Amino acid sequence: MASKYAYSYSLAFFFIATIVSAQLSSTFYDTSCPGAFHIIKYIVNDAVAKEKRMGASLLRLHFHDCFVNGCDGSVLLDDTPTFTGEKTASPNNNSIRGFDVIDTMKSHVEAICPQVVSCADILAVAARDSVVALGGPSWTVQLGRRDATTASFSAAKSDIPKPTFDLSALISSFSNKGLSTADMIALAGAHTIGQARCISFRNRIYNETNIDSSLATSLQSNCPSSGGDNNLSPLDASTPTVFDNYYYKNLVNNKGLLHSDQQLYDGGSTDSQVTTYSQNMVKFYTDFAAAMVNMGNISPLTGSSGEIRTNCRKTN
């Protein structure tokens, strides 16, 4: 069963990123657990076949993990008597999901390679396989992350970009994690799949003027001016379950669902890159894959740091 299953700053960051990259390796588990990634891919494909939205959910888990103290699997930890986990922080509460799918992956990987493959690496691989399952690009995942032994509710509240952010706040948020503006625009393309809660875009559809009027009207029926906070709408209404470049086409036509989405194409410095992606899906795919590798390199725990959890929801 398991077998299925400013210049100086830039220069400094270049060296830091190089060191971090050197700590991770695409061949990290080639001898210790070569079968793990067949299992993860099988379970991702099965979960996405049952529910297309799950692909977006698994991708989002990796993003929300990496933006809080690095890619360390902390987003998966449940609350304990000694710390409050990240799951109930405002960007995550009633929003992130897919924990049961990660649990399935972990249990099957543990069955063949006990305490070898980290939850953080499972998240990174599952994110890649989810994108592929929905028709998007693949990339070589760098591996060797270890798992955090604690989580940060406060960092989850403060560090994950908010749907209300304007362009300058978005750029700062990604820059704080060592990611460029170009990375940010490419990673935003993850919103070509998945859904958002009404509470995340209500103000946009009722009060903003840079939104297509027909889109706003259609969304208002599912997102009333009060109530229905958890009602869902697709981030890309054109092709909501296909990983393509329609997200950017929508932005060019003022059809971005979130305020933060439309900020990428609103007469500012990022318009050109959005336009390029809207016209050239291959370019988007290439840049998205590279940006995902960059994001996966945010402050990983390696060597003797952290641990390899046997259960992704709790420390050993």
User: Dihedrals φ, ψ of 116, to 5°?
Assistant: -115, -50
Verify whether residue 62 is a known catalytic residue: no
103 is in an annotated binding site: no
229 is in an annotated binding site: no
72 is in an annotated binding site: yes
131 is in an annotated binding site: no
65 is in an annotated binding site: yes
Q: What is the DSSP pairing of strand 232-234 with strand 195-197?
A: antiparallel
- CA–CA gap between residue 158 and residue 89 (Å, rounded): 9
68 is in an annotated binding site: yes
Catalytic residue among 62, 64, 108, 259: 64
Half-sphere exposure of 163 (CA within 13 A, CB side): 19
List of residues 6+ apart from 115 with CB closer than 8 A: 308, 310
236 is in an annotated binding site: yes
Residues in the chain: 316
Instruction: Choose among 193, 56, 177, 76: nearest CA to 126.
Output: 56
Task: Evaluate whether 130 touches 44 at the Cβ level (below 8 Å).
Answer: yes
183 is in an annotated binding site: no
In DSSP notation, 90-111 reads TTTTTT---HHHHHHHHHHHHH
Query: In degrees, to the nearest 5, what angle opens at C-alpha 243 toward C-alphas 18 and 181?
Result: 40
Instruction: Choose among 148, 69, 96: nearest CA to 308.
Output: 148
Q: Which residues are annotated as a binding site for heme b?
A: 191
Q: Which residues are annotated as a binding site for substrate?
A: 161
Q: Which residues are annotated as a binding site for Ca(2+)?
A: 65, 68, 70, 72, 74, 86, 192, 236, 239, 244
**Could you give the residue numbers annotated as active site?**
64
Q: Which residues are annotated as a binding site?
A: 65, 68, 70, 72, 74, 86, 161, 191-192, 236, 239, 244
